[in-house]
Amino acid sequence: MLASGSSAFADWTYNPSTGHWYDLTPTGLTWTQAEDWAAKHGAHLVTINNAAENAWVLAQFGVSGQGLWIGLYQLPGSTEPAGGWTWVSGGAKVDGYSNWAPGEPNQYTGSPEDCATMYAPDNANGPGKWNDDQCFILYILGGVIERELDPAIPTVSEWGLVVMTLLTLTAGTIILVRPRRARR
């Protein structure tokens, strides 16, 4: 079954300062795909509440030259570029702690940049600083996901997989041990 501190789907890292568990999504996902993947694992893209958590996330998951999706997005219809930024977890709007790089958010491309990334540890704009970016880009390393419950406690999705696996194995066992009918 599931070992303590692990999940059937991911290798989670515990942050004792927050009491939450963190992991990375697969690479090559858009922001929305990363959030969907997180939700299937009882999580959401990370909500960063203070400088210590931001530094911890960067230290644990930052990779040279690679940005990370975080759970910050801009509500549709918000004043560009800085209005309406909120956390996907349902947490408060960004009016307390933020770690935007200088000049960000800026909608640099001229197209909507409604999803946030965290810069890599070696980024010239500031290691661990935040950037607004287009939600559909795929060059991001992955998304940092966060969940409050211990991954050793399966989510509904994980239980569904366990039950389906057991049913499949049971059905296979029944077929394997079913006696053959005599031929007439």
CA 94, 155, 19, 140 torsion: positive or negative? negative
Say how far apart CA 76 and CA 143 lie, in whole Å.
21
CA 8, 12, 16, 19 torsion: positive or negative? negative
pLDDT value for 8: 44
In a 3-state reduction of DSSP, which class is residue 73?
A: strand
pLDDT in single tens digits along all 184 residues of the chain:
333 333 444 589 999 999 999 999 999 999 999 999 999 989 999 999 999 999 999 999 999 999 999 999 999 999 889 999 999 988 656 667 899 999 999 988 888 999 999 999 999 999 999 999 999 988 778 999 999 887 777 666 555 655 666 666 766 654 444 444 555 5
Q: Diameter of the chain by CA atoms?
A: 84
Tokens of 118: 């965290």
Selection from 99, 94, 18 nearest residue 54 by Cα: 99
Domains of the chain: residue spans and CATH: 13-153 (3.10.100.10)
